[in-house]
Structure 1
Amino acid sequence: MNFVIFEEINNMKKILLLLATTFMSLSCLVAPKTEKLVWDVNNKMDNVFFIGENFDYYKNGEDYMKSVENEFNNRNIKNAGYFYNERVLNAEKKLRTKIEMVNPKYILTISLTAITKGNGKTYSLSLFDTEKKKEVWEDYVLGSAFDGPRKFSKNLMVKLEKEKIINKIK
Protein backbone atom coordinates (compact mmCIF):
# COMPACT_ATOMS: atom_id res chain seq x y z
CA MET A 1 0.00 0.00 0.00
CA ASN A 2 1.28 3.38 -0.87
CA PHE A 3 0.98 5.90 1.92
CA VAL A 4 0.99 9.57 1.29
CA ILE A 5 2.62 10.86 4.44
CA PHE A 6 1.74 14.42 5.23
CA GLU A 7 4.50 16.86 5.83
CA GLU A 8 2.54 17.87 8.92
CA ILE A 9 3.38 14.57 10.67
CA ASN A 10 6.17 16.57 12.26
CA ASN A 11 3.52 18.77 13.87
CA MET A 12 3.02 16.01 16.45
CA LYS A 13 6.65 16.41 17.44
CA LYS A 14 6.23 20.18 17.58
CA ILE A 15 3.24 19.87 19.89
CA LEU A 16 5.14 17.49 22.15
CA LEU A 17 7.97 20.00 22.25
CA LEU A 18 5.46 22.71 23.11
CA LEU A 19 4.14 20.57 25.94
CA ALA A 20 7.68 20.05 27.12
CA THR A 21 8.28 23.78 27.38
CA THR A 22 4.97 24.20 29.17
CA PHE A 23 5.34 21.46 31.77
CA MET A 24 8.90 20.21 32.03
CA SER A 25 12.29 19.65 30.53
CA LEU A 26 12.52 17.93 27.16
CA SER A 27 14.50 14.94 28.44
CA CYS A 28 11.46 13.41 30.19
CA LEU A 29 9.01 13.87 27.33
CA VAL A 30 9.72 11.06 24.90
CA ALA A 31 9.79 7.44 26.01
CA PRO A 32 12.83 5.42 24.97
CA LYS A 33 12.32 3.47 21.74
CA THR A 34 12.66 0.13 23.55
CA GLU A 35 9.94 0.94 26.08
CA LYS A 36 6.42 0.05 24.98
CA LEU A 37 3.96 2.55 26.38
CA VAL A 38 1.29 0.60 28.25
CA TRP A 39 -1.61 2.18 30.06
CA ASP A 40 -1.95 1.38 33.77
CA VAL A 41 -5.41 -0.22 33.88
CA ASN A 42 -5.90 0.98 37.47
CA ASN A 43 -6.11 4.54 36.13
CA LYS A 44 -9.06 6.01 34.29
CA MET A 45 -8.90 9.20 32.31
CA ASP A 46 -11.12 11.74 34.05
CA ASN A 47 -9.74 15.10 32.92
CA VAL A 48 -8.38 15.54 29.40
CA PHE A 49 -7.36 18.27 27.01
CA PHE A 50 -7.40 17.04 23.44
CA ILE A 51 -5.66 18.60 20.49
CA GLY A 52 -6.76 17.96 16.91
CA GLU A 53 -4.07 18.29 14.28
CA ASN A 54 -4.21 18.26 10.48
CA PHE A 55 -8.00 18.16 10.45
CA ASP A 56 -8.05 21.37 8.43
CA TYR A 57 -7.28 19.09 5.48
CA TYR A 58 -11.01 18.53 5.59
CA LYS A 59 -13.37 21.47 5.64
CA ASN A 60 -15.23 20.07 8.65
CA GLY A 61 -12.22 19.63 10.96
CA GLU A 62 -13.87 21.56 13.78
CA ASP A 63 -16.88 19.23 13.52
CA TYR A 64 -14.53 16.33 14.27
CA MET A 65 -13.29 18.06 17.42
CA LYS A 66 -16.83 18.95 18.54
CA SER A 67 -17.88 15.33 18.08
CA VAL A 68 -14.95 14.11 20.23
CA GLU A 69 -15.90 16.67 22.89
CA ASN A 70 -19.49 15.38 22.90
CA GLU A 71 -18.31 11.78 23.32
CA PHE A 72 -16.17 12.74 26.33
CA ASN A 73 -19.14 14.67 27.79
CA ASN A 74 -21.37 11.59 27.37
CA ARG A 75 -18.88 9.69 29.54
CA ASN A 76 -18.70 12.45 32.19
CA ILE A 77 -15.05 13.09 31.44
CA LYS A 78 -14.05 16.69 32.05
CA ASN A 79 -12.55 17.89 28.77
CA ALA A 80 -11.57 20.77 26.58
CA GLY A 81 -10.36 20.70 23.03
CA TYR A 82 -8.30 22.74 20.67
CA PHE A 83 -8.19 22.62 16.90
CA TYR A 84 -4.47 23.13 16.26
CA ASN A 85 -3.26 24.62 13.00
CA GLU A 86 0.33 25.82 13.03
CA ARG A 87 -0.38 28.12 10.10
CA VAL A 88 -2.57 30.31 12.31
CA LEU A 89 -0.85 33.39 13.69
CA ASN A 90 0.49 32.73 17.23
CA ALA A 91 -0.89 29.16 17.18
CA GLU A 92 1.61 27.80 19.71
CA LYS A 93 1.08 30.71 22.09
CA LYS A 94 -2.71 30.25 21.88
CA LEU A 95 -2.34 26.53 22.51
CA ARG A 96 -0.05 27.05 25.51
CA THR A 97 -2.46 29.64 26.97
CA LYS A 98 -5.44 27.32 26.54
CA ILE A 99 -3.60 24.41 28.21
CA GLU A 100 -2.57 26.58 31.15
CA MET A 101 -6.17 27.81 31.59
CA VAL A 102 -7.60 24.29 31.67
CA ASN A 103 -4.76 22.66 33.68
CA PRO A 104 -5.65 19.11 32.54
CA LYS A 105 -4.35 15.85 33.97
CA TYR A 106 -3.95 14.34 30.49
CA ILE A 107 -3.36 15.76 27.03
CA LEU A 108 -4.53 13.65 24.09
CA THR A 109 -3.07 14.58 20.71
CA ILE A 110 -5.02 13.32 17.69
CA SER A 111 -3.24 13.76 14.40
CA LEU A 112 -4.24 12.76 10.89
CA THR A 113 -0.98 11.16 9.74
CA ALA A 114 -1.70 9.34 6.49
CA ILE A 115 -4.22 8.73 3.76
CA THR A 116 -3.87 5.50 1.85
CA LYS A 117 -4.43 5.06 -1.85
CA GLY A 118 -7.88 3.57 -1.13
CA ASN A 119 -9.08 6.58 0.91
CA GLY A 120 -8.29 5.02 4.28
CA LYS A 121 -7.03 7.33 7.00
CA THR A 122 -4.65 6.77 9.89
CA TYR A 123 -4.83 8.90 13.02
CA SER A 124 -1.96 8.93 15.48
CA LEU A 125 -2.95 9.12 19.16
CA SER A 126 -0.64 10.22 21.93
CA LEU A 127 -1.54 10.61 25.61
CA PHE A 128 0.63 12.81 27.80
CA ASP A 129 0.34 12.75 31.62
CA THR A 130 0.96 16.25 32.97
CA GLU A 131 1.54 15.00 36.53
CA LYS A 132 4.10 12.35 35.57
CA LYS A 133 5.37 14.75 32.90
CA LYS A 134 5.72 12.08 30.26
CA GLU A 135 3.95 10.39 27.40
CA VAL A 136 2.06 7.43 28.86
CA TRP A 137 0.32 5.89 25.85
CA GLU A 138 0.39 5.98 22.07
CA ASP A 139 -1.48 4.15 19.36
CA TYR A 140 -3.29 4.57 16.05
CA VAL A 141 -6.90 4.49 15.01
CA LEU A 142 -7.94 3.76 11.45
CA GLY A 143 -10.71 5.47 9.56
CA SER A 144 -12.15 5.93 6.12
CA ALA A 145 -12.57 8.98 3.94
CA PHE A 146 -16.27 8.21 4.12
CA ASP A 147 -16.37 8.36 7.93
CA GLY A 148 -17.93 11.51 9.25
CA PRO A 149 -17.12 13.24 12.54
CA ARG A 150 -19.52 11.07 14.57
CA LYS A 151 -18.10 7.79 13.24
CA PHE A 152 -14.55 9.03 13.87
CA SER A 153 -15.29 9.96 17.49
CA LYS A 154 -17.01 6.60 18.07
CA ASN A 155 -13.93 4.78 16.69
CA LEU A 156 -11.72 6.83 18.99
CA MET A 157 -13.84 6.02 22.05
CA VAL A 158 -13.86 2.30 21.19
CA LYS A 159 -10.04 2.39 21.02
CA LEU A 160 -9.82 4.14 24.40
CA GLU A 161 -12.30 1.65 25.90
CA LYS A 162 -10.36 -1.36 24.58
CA GLU A 163 -7.18 0.02 26.12
CA LYS A 164 -9.12 0.54 29.41
CA ILE A 165 -8.28 4.23 29.43
CA ILE A 166 -11.94 5.16 29.75
CA ASN A 167 -14.96 3.23 31.01
CA LYS A 168 -17.62 1.93 28.67
CA ILE A 169 -20.98 3.66 28.76
CA LYS A 170 -23.43 1.55 30.75
Structure 2
Amino acid sequence: MVGKTILCLLVLFAVCSVNGHRSCEKKSDCRRKECCLKAGDVQHCVHWSEMNAKCIVSQQPFRGERGRVMIDYCPCDKDLSCNPHSNGQFDIGKCEPTRCEVNKDCAWRHCCVDGFCRRRGVLGDECIPGAKRKKNEMMHDKCDCLSTKFYCRSDGLCEKKGL
Protein backbone atom coordinates (compact mmCIF):
# COMPACT_ATOMS: atom_id res chain seq x y z
CA MET A 1 0.00 0.00 0.00
CA VAL A 2 2.79 2.42 0.93
CA GLY A 3 4.62 1.51 -2.30
CA LYS A 4 1.54 2.34 -4.42
CA THR A 5 1.11 5.67 -2.62
CA ILE A 6 4.73 6.62 -3.30
CA LEU A 7 4.38 5.54 -6.95
CA CYS A 8 1.21 7.66 -7.33
CA LEU A 9 3.00 10.68 -5.82
CA LEU A 10 5.95 10.23 -8.19
CA VAL A 11 3.63 10.02 -11.22
CA LEU A 12 1.74 13.12 -10.05
CA PHE A 13 5.03 15.00 -9.63
CA ALA A 14 6.17 13.97 -13.13
CA VAL A 15 2.87 15.11 -14.68
CA CYS A 16 3.07 18.50 -12.90
CA SER A 17 6.65 19.08 -13.97
CA VAL A 18 7.75 19.49 -17.59
CA ASN A 19 11.53 19.43 -18.05
CA GLY A 20 11.95 20.61 -14.45
CA HIS A 21 9.57 23.56 -14.90
CA ARG A 22 6.42 24.06 -12.83
CA SER A 23 3.14 24.23 -14.70
CA CYS A 24 1.24 27.52 -14.59
CA GLU A 25 -1.95 29.18 -15.75
CA LYS A 26 -0.84 32.81 -15.22
CA LYS A 27 2.19 34.94 -14.25
CA SER A 28 1.34 34.94 -10.54
CA ASP A 29 1.79 31.13 -10.48
CA CYS A 30 5.51 31.68 -11.15
CA ARG A 31 8.40 32.93 -9.03
CA ARG A 32 10.15 36.27 -9.26
CA LYS A 33 12.11 36.62 -12.54
CA GLU A 34 10.00 33.93 -14.22
CA CYS A 35 7.20 34.17 -16.76
CA CYS A 36 4.34 31.81 -17.54
CA LEU A 37 5.32 30.59 -20.99
CA LYS A 38 2.98 28.90 -23.46
CA ALA A 39 4.80 26.57 -25.84
CA GLY A 40 2.40 24.50 -27.91
CA ASP A 41 -0.28 23.11 -25.61
CA VAL A 42 1.88 23.34 -22.48
CA GLN A 43 2.29 26.27 -20.07
CA HIS A 44 5.11 26.33 -17.54
CA CYS A 45 7.22 28.76 -15.49
CA VAL A 46 10.51 29.68 -17.14
CA HIS A 47 13.28 32.06 -16.04
CA TRP A 48 13.47 35.35 -17.95
CA SER A 49 15.62 35.17 -21.09
CA GLU A 50 19.35 35.73 -20.52
CA MET A 51 22.10 37.43 -22.54
CA ASN A 52 22.08 36.45 -26.25
CA ALA A 53 18.87 34.40 -25.90
CA LYS A 54 16.18 34.73 -28.57
CA CYS A 55 13.26 37.02 -27.81
CA ILE A 56 10.29 38.61 -29.57
CA VAL A 57 10.94 42.31 -30.26
CA SER A 58 7.39 43.61 -29.83
CA GLN A 59 6.18 40.90 -27.46
CA GLN A 60 3.15 41.69 -25.35
CA PRO A 61 1.66 39.19 -22.89
CA PHE A 62 -1.26 37.15 -24.15
CA ARG A 63 -4.26 37.63 -21.89
CA GLY A 64 -5.35 34.04 -21.30
CA GLU A 65 -8.46 32.89 -19.51
CA ARG A 66 -6.84 33.39 -16.12
CA GLY A 67 -4.09 35.96 -16.61
CA ARG A 68 -0.98 37.01 -18.51
CA VAL A 69 0.92 34.37 -20.46
CA MET A 70 3.91 34.77 -22.81
CA ILE A 71 4.07 32.92 -26.14
CA ASP A 72 7.29 31.14 -27.29
CA TYR A 73 9.82 33.26 -25.34
CA CYS A 74 10.01 34.96 -21.92
CA PRO A 75 10.94 38.65 -21.79
CA CYS A 76 14.62 39.52 -21.38
CA ASP A 77 16.09 39.62 -17.88
CA LYS A 78 16.71 42.98 -16.17
CA ASP A 79 19.52 45.07 -17.71
CA LEU A 80 18.72 43.50 -21.10
CA SER A 81 16.53 44.57 -24.02
CA CYS A 82 15.22 42.60 -26.96
CA ASN A 83 17.06 44.14 -29.90
CA PRO A 84 16.06 43.31 -33.50
CA HIS A 85 18.50 41.38 -35.67
CA SER A 86 18.35 40.84 -39.41
CA ASN A 87 18.25 37.07 -39.15
CA GLY A 88 15.44 36.44 -41.62
CA GLN A 89 12.87 35.98 -38.84
CA PHE A 90 10.51 38.96 -38.77
CA ASP A 91 10.03 39.67 -35.06
CA ILE A 92 12.81 37.58 -33.48
CA GLY A 93 15.56 39.48 -31.68
CA LYS A 94 18.33 38.83 -29.19
CA CYS A 95 18.58 39.80 -25.50
CA GLU A 96 21.41 42.31 -25.22
CA PRO A 97 22.42 45.09 -22.82
CA THR A 98 19.99 48.01 -22.95
CA ARG A 99 21.43 50.90 -24.98
CA CYS A 100 21.28 54.47 -23.64
CA GLU A 101 22.57 57.97 -24.25
CA VAL A 102 22.00 59.46 -20.78
CA ASN A 103 21.03 58.14 -17.34
CA LYS A 104 17.31 58.93 -17.72
CA ASP A 105 17.16 56.36 -20.57
CA CYS A 106 17.70 53.65 -17.94
CA ALA A 107 15.55 52.42 -15.05
CA TRP A 108 16.18 54.29 -11.77
CA ARG A 109 18.24 51.42 -10.29
CA HIS A 110 20.57 51.68 -13.29
CA CYS A 111 22.88 54.23 -14.87
CA CYS A 112 24.12 54.76 -18.40
CA VAL A 113 27.78 53.71 -18.61
CA ASP A 114 29.48 54.27 -21.96
CA GLY A 115 26.23 53.74 -23.89
CA PHE A 116 24.72 50.78 -21.97
CA CYS A 117 22.45 50.60 -18.91
CA ARG A 118 24.19 48.97 -15.94
CA ARG A 119 22.98 48.16 -12.43
CA ARG A 120 23.93 50.80 -9.86
CA GLY A 121 26.31 49.63 -7.15
CA VAL A 122 25.34 47.74 -4.02
CA LEU A 123 27.43 46.37 -1.14
CA GLY A 124 30.97 45.58 -2.29
CA ASP A 125 30.54 46.79 -5.90
CA GLU A 126 33.12 49.14 -7.39
CA CYS A 127 32.15 52.80 -7.68
CA ILE A 128 33.69 56.21 -8.32
CA PRO A 129 33.95 58.25 -5.09
CA GLY A 130 31.99 61.48 -5.37
CA ALA A 131 30.15 60.44 -8.56
CA LYS A 132 26.41 61.15 -8.59
CA ARG A 133 23.85 59.98 -11.14
CA LYS A 134 22.47 62.98 -13.06
CA LYS A 135 19.50 62.41 -15.37
CA ASN A 136 20.88 64.15 -18.46
CA GLU A 137 24.44 62.81 -18.28
CA MET A 138 26.22 59.53 -18.95
CA MET A 139 28.51 57.87 -16.40
CA HIS A 140 31.96 56.70 -17.49
CA ASP A 141 33.62 53.46 -16.43
CA LYS A 142 31.27 52.63 -13.48
CA CYS A 143 27.91 53.48 -11.94
CA ASP A 144 27.46 55.28 -8.65
CA CYS A 145 26.06 53.38 -5.66
CA LEU A 146 22.31 52.93 -5.29
CA SER A 147 21.91 56.06 -3.20
CA THR A 148 18.82 55.02 -1.24
CA LYS A 149 20.81 52.42 0.74
CA PHE A 150 24.50 52.72 -0.18
CA TYR A 151 27.34 55.24 -0.51
CA CYS A 152 30.74 55.10 -2.23
CA ARG A 153 33.67 54.84 0.19
CA SER A 154 36.94 56.64 -0.54
CA ASP A 155 38.50 53.28 -1.61
CA GLY A 156 35.92 52.97 -4.43
CA LEU A 157 33.60 50.32 -2.96
CA CYS A 158 29.89 50.66 -2.15
CA GLU A 159 29.07 50.45 1.55
CA LYS A 160 25.67 50.20 3.25
CA LYS A 161 24.53 53.45 4.87
CA GLY A 162 24.36 53.46 8.66
CA LEU A 163 27.16 50.93 9.32
Per chain length, whose mean CA-contact separation is higher, i.e. which structure has more relative contact order (CA < 8 Å, sep 6+)?
Answer: 1
Greater Rg by CA? 2
The verdict on a shared fold, with TM-score over 0.5 as the criterion, is no
TM-score band, normalised by shorter chain: under 0.3
Q: Larger helix proportion, structure 1 or 2?
A: 1
